[in-house]
Amino acid sequence: MTQTQPQAVEPCAVDLTVSDLPLPTSAEVDQDLFTTVIEPSEDSASDNTTAEENSSGFAGFGFSDALLKTLDEKGYKEPSPIQKAAFPELMLGRDLVGQAQTGTGKTAAFALPLLERLEGRSTQPRVLVLAPTRELAMQVADSFKAYAAGHPHLNVLAIYGGSDFRSQIHALKRGVDVVVGTPGRVMDHMRQGTLNTSGLRSLVLDEADEMLRMGFIDDVEWILDQLPEERQVVLFSATMPNEIRRLSKRYLSEPAEITIKTKDREARRIRQRSITLQNAHKLEALNRVLEAVTGEGVIIFARTKAITLTVAESLEAAGHDVAVLNGDVPQNQRERTVDRLRKGTVNILVATDVAARGLDVDRIGLVINYDMPFDSEAYVHRIGRTGRAGRTGEAILFITPRERRFVGNLERAVGQAIEPMEIPSNAEINESRLTRLRIRLGEAASAESNDETALLQELIQRVGQENELSMEQLAAAALKLAVGDQPLLVQGDESWLKTPHRADRRDDRRDPRGRDRRRGDRDSRPPEDNMMRYRVEVGYRDRVKPGNLVGAIANESGLQGRMIGRIQIFDNHSLVDLPKGMPDDVYNALRRLKVMNRELQISQAS
């Protein structure tokens, strides 16, 4: 685990900022909460110098020698701003609400003081952490285990769906001090009586807004209702929707509140750009971006499981080492995939939003949004996978012409402009290829000599003498062998790179919602790659309008209105483009749904 190097502050008024991304606007903070707002500091550089000259900044919070030794061995020198604000409150046993992104050191902010307050041995769990995904649960549990290295009597267990239930029961029976789990699996154990919460002292809700977005908030409230009345509750969330604010007011007692505000120069560690293109050109554009924009590690976000497989197959055919992370991947394979990405044995990961939630890999240098995210919070979480631990990162967003109107929402969410970007040209790709080859050649030449190096040098001399070749000719021949059979330079047709401009002019003939204005004029264009076209048995004869269809379908299916694609209305029927992978129960409900007093009788269009 890499510790973000924070900016030191004076111990009195906390007035700093550090964050990977600007936070979306939150609700007004209730006046009856104790609130610490961490603002930007202008003299952080000098503060850091002073801190490095002094002893560990963790020594002033009442931590034991064993814990301080563990932190020192792991290279932790100074607590991050959120840790400085949270440690004193949590060591006193206070409830706490923290608003902060991942990558700000929030796991250590609650894990260290909660571990330190665990005294002696116990047969029952005393700390419970709820996390929205399996990946985040495993990550938080690993952090607890690392921090507890100096306390060998403390046991930590991660429980989540997709892993063996019986082994979790055996571990709980042996005695566990800290349980980290997803809401569903924690509920299962509580209902079966295998997780005894009667001795629980502290509960942590990590990424509470994500649990709300994923529909776990009712499960979280059920768990809270079963816990002892006397317990400490800690809530961390990147944003503060009204529902999360309501939850904190109901279940937390006079909590301290900490808000990490961002500073522009911190946020701009992630360069954000967008490419406007048609869906038909996405795969080719993706290959060009990967060729021209080099990143130490790359995550590509796709909207559905089917798209992740299509993208991965295309990249493998182009010679990339790529792995897939979606809901169909078994848990043990998911863990191996993340480990390979962390170690660098695989460099490109294609993932869905839910599968990649909580993914914390420092070496990610580039995030590509292959599909427009469903909402601005999903975009914030996606690009937050890069630019971590003080590093810089890049985020590139693929958008179709009609999706450009949603970019403003994303810019407001991150407080930063998303720059337009052209699809890399042949010249840019060729320059990138030559640069990479030059770097590899320099690294190979400067590497330490060994027995094989001597053999290679002898072979070069022998071939040169036998064929009367100069060293330059031999070097060129060696480079050709290294490059392989594929041409070094790209020389294919690139006229299609200008297609988005033609598409823009075509789209000008459509109304702002992307619906054709021309009555009864069937659009011969096929649906976009991630969409499927359906026929519904209502039309102009029923006086139906696009808004009627959008509202009815959105209410019944749970889709956001903007996720419903092109609508074409004819005299006695209409065509509607909807996202692929519609569940059977939603499909059957839409068949019976009435619009303008007529059943849709939805069917797949021929």
pLDDT tens track for 431-474 = 877 877 777 777 777 777 777 777 877 888 888 788 887 888 88
Write down the residue that tokens 């005695």 correspond to.
Answer: 175
Q: pLDDT band at residue 132, thresholds of 50, 70 and 90?
A: confident
Which residue in 530, 579, 563, 580 sits closest to 278, CA to CA? 530
Sign of CA dihedral 215, 219, 221, 224: negative
| 3-class secondary-structure state, position 363 | coil
- Report the alpha-carbon distance of residue 207 to residue 238 in Å, rounded: 7
Q: pLDDT band at residue 2, thresholds of 50, 70 and 90?
A: very low
Sign of CA dihedral 374, 378, 380, 382: negative
- Report the alpha-carbon distance of residue 84 to residue 80 in Å, rounded: 6
**Stretch 382-405: mean pLDDT, rounded?**
84
Distance set, CA 96 to CA 101, 255, 404 (Å): 16, 5, 39
User: What integer pLDDT is reported at residue 227 of this predicted model?
Assistant: 92
Q: What is the DSSP string of 138-174?
A: HHHHHHHHHHGGG-TT--EEEE-TTS-HHHHHHHHHH
pLDDT at 580 over 60: yes
Tokens of 183: 């809401």
pLDDT at 32 over 80: no
Q: pLDDT band at residue 15, thresholds of 50, 70 and 90?
A: very low
Distance set, CA 252 to CA 126, 200, 227, 232, 235 (Å): 18, 15, 13, 8, 9
Which residue in 213, 208, 237, 241 sits closest to 27, CA to CA? 241
Q: What is the DSSP string of 529-597?
A: TTEEEEEES--GGGT--HHHHHHHHHHHH---GGGS--EEE-SS-EEEEEES---HHHHHHHHH-EETT
pLDDT at 142 over 80: yes
With a CB cutoff of 8 Å and minimum separation 6, the contacts of 418 are 272, 273, 274, 397, 407, 410, 411
- Report the alpha-carbon distance of residue 489 to residue 437 in Å, rounded: 12
**Stretch 394-415: mean pLDDT, rounded?**
85
pTM for the structure as a whole: 0.51
User: What integer pLDDT is reported at residue 579 of this predicted model?
Assistant: 86
User: What integer pLDDT is reported at residue 561 of this predicted model?
Assistant: 67
Give the range among 37-41, 323-327, 428-432 with minimum mean pLDDT.
37-41
Q: What is the DSSP string of 331-346?
A: HHHHHHHHHHHHHTS-
Give the range among 66-80, 167-181, 227-241 with minimum mean pLDDT.
66-80
Tokens of 329: 């991947």
- Report the alpha-carbon distance of residue 202 to residue 170 in Å, rounded: 23
User: What integer pLDDT is reported at residue 33 of this predicted model?
Assistant: 40
Domains of the chain: 34-264 (3.40.50.300), 268-427 (3.40.50.300), 519-604 (3.30.70.330)
pLDDT tens track for 213-269 = 778 888 999 999 999 989 999 999 888 888 899 999 999 999 999 887 654 444 557
pLDDT at 398 over 80: yes
pLDDT at 393 over 50: yes
- Report the alpha-carbon distance of residue 64 to residue 76 in Å, rounded: 15
pLDDT at 4 over 70: no
Which residue in 301, 219, 300, 239 sits closest to 102, CA to CA? 239
User: What integer pLDDT is reported at residue 56 of this predicted model?
Assistant: 61
The β-bridge relationship of strands 531-536 and 574-579 is antiparallel
User: What integer pLDDT is reported at residue 21 of this predicted model?
Assistant: 37
Which residue in 379, 327, 377, 391 sits closest to 354, CA to CA? 327
- Report the alpha-carbon distance of residue 404 to residue 381 in Å, rounded: 20
User: What integer pLDDT is reported at residue 506 of this predicted model?
Assistant: 40
pLDDT tens track for 552-577 = 887 777 766 667 888 888 888 899 98
pLDDT tens track for 463-510 = 878 888 788 888 788 777 877 766 777 766 676 676 444 444 344 334
Give the range among 172-176, 511-515, 526-530, 568-572 with minimum mean pLDDT.
511-515
pLDDT at 521 over 70: no
Cβ atoms of 285 and 431 closer than 8 Å = no
Cβ atoms of 350 and 282 closer than 8 Å = no
- Report the alpha-carbon distance of residue 223 to residue 244 in Å, rounded: 15
Decide which of 40 and 451 is more confident. 451
User: What integer pLDDT is reported at residue 539 of this predicted model?
Assistant: 87
* End-to-end Cα separation, the chain, in angstroms: 53
Cβ atoms of 325 and 134 closer than 8 Å = no
- Report the alpha-carbon distance of residue 325 to residue 308 in Å, rounded: 8
- The full length of the chain comes to 606
**Stretch 88-101: mean pLDDT, rounded?**
89
Q: pLDDT band at residue 52, thresholds of 50, 70 and 90?
A: very low
- Report the alpha-carbon distance of residue 58 to residue 94 in Å, rounded: 19
pLDDT at 48 over 50: no
Q: pLDDT band at residue 328, thresholds of 50, 70 and 90?
A: confident
User: What integer pLDDT is reported at residue 413 of this predicted model?
Assistant: 75
Using a pLDDT cut of 70, give the percent of the chain over it.
81
Instruction: Tell me the backbone φ, ψ of residue 204, rounded to 5 degrees.
Output: -120, 130
pLDDT tens track for 275-297 = 999 888 899 999 999 988 876 78
Residue type, 505: R
User: What integer pLDDT is reported at residue 25 of this predicted model?
Assistant: 36
User: What integer pLDDT is reported at residue 226 of this predicted model?
Assistant: 93
